[in-house]
Amino acid sequence: MSTGHLIIIGGGEDRTDDKNVLTRFVEMAGGAERRFVVITTASRVPDQVWAMYDAAFGDLGVTQRKHLHLDTRADANNRELVADIEQADGIFMTGGDQKRLMAIIGGTLADDAMHRALIERGAVIAGTSAGASAMSNHMLADGKTDLHPEKGAVHLGAGLGLVNRVVIDQHFSQRHRLSRLLTIVAANPHLLGIGIDEDTALIVTPGSGIEVIGDGAVTIADGRDTITNIADLPQHGCPELIDVRLHLLPAGSRYKTGEAPAPLEHFMHIVTHRNTLP
């Protein structure tokens, strides 16, 4: 049994020029000669999305690349279709709507196949935008905030659980989503908030370490010691938040398990903790 890697992408990754994030995905999966599958279930325009990734991975020399659009739960429980996941060295989930993605694949054979690919076969699983948010156990389902955190403005749902006790937000700096992440952390202090910028990826190797690649940064919100009045506020109230801990990891940041600065130790333990099969 060999644990693979997660590549959690904040969306908007370069697909036409340097393709740094996609290049790293191909390399970590074993190279261009390996088998790759692109899952477009989150998208309402799967053929258009596949065309972009088909061209991008083709440019990177990948010949064994396949489009997998699971459109119904019956598809996600179809063993012939799921075989593409079971045989892939690199599994890529595109953007779209994470609620759609989970409504179709959550708890199905496809879901199980991804966990087994990561844990038993050492495959690489990447997700961008909606595909990134769906990778955590607690998934940011919908909601927005304006200038400040707002009670009840953001809703969580069940995700894939490839990484646990975190909530992942994407397009983070570009769409000014810090207040949204703080809203989640205030109401759910046991969860760590992770915000990932566009064309940026957080690479997680369970049991080993993390790395940030791309053009942006990863923001981590830790509310375990936060003092807040959110429980006593009416809906849409702005909570008081005292002693929220924020970390910023720009591209190039890299830490091995057990070697991170003390304030990052909890985050490292959470994201690199070896998962188990559902």
Interhelix angle 109-119/79-87, rounded to 10 degrees, is 20
Alpha carbon distance 75, 203 (integer Å): 29
Alpha carbon distance 135, 98 (integer Å): 10
Global model pTM greater than 0.85: yes
Taking only the tens place, the pLDDT of each residue in 210-259 is 999 999 999 999 999 999 999 999 999 999 999 999 999 999 999 999 89
Alpha carbon distance 77, 203 (integer Å): 29
Which residue in 236, 217, 229, 233 sits closest to 189, CA to CA? 229
Alpha carbon distance 132, 40 (integer Å): 13
Q: Which two tokens mark 167?
A: 């909530």
Taking only the tens place, the pLDDT of each residue in 8-29 is 999 999 999 999 999 999 999 9
- In which element (H, E) is residue 41 found? none
- The answer to whether 248 and 219 have CB atoms below 8 angstroms apart is yes
Alpha carbon distance 102, 166 (integer Å): 17
Give exposure, 43-53, as e/b (b: 16+ Cβ within 10 Å).
beebeebbeeb
Q: What percent of the chain stands above pLDDT 90?
A: 95
Q: How confident is the model at residue 181 (pLDDT cuts 50, 70, 90)?
A: very high
Residues that are catalytic: 129, 171, 198
What is the average pLDDT value for the chain, to the nearest integer?
A: 95
Pairing mode of beta strands 65-68, 5-9: unpaired
Domains of the chain: 5-147+156-161+196-214+246-272 (3.40.50.880)
Alpha carbon distance 243, 3 (integer Å): 35
| Residue 1 predicted with pLDDT over 70 | no
Taking only the tens place, the pLDDT of each residue in 104-156 is 999 999 999 999 999 999 999 999 999 999 999 999 999 988 889 999 999 99
- The answer to whether 33 and 89 have CB atoms below 8 angstroms apart is no
- The answer to whether 179 and 169 have CB atoms below 8 angstroms apart is no
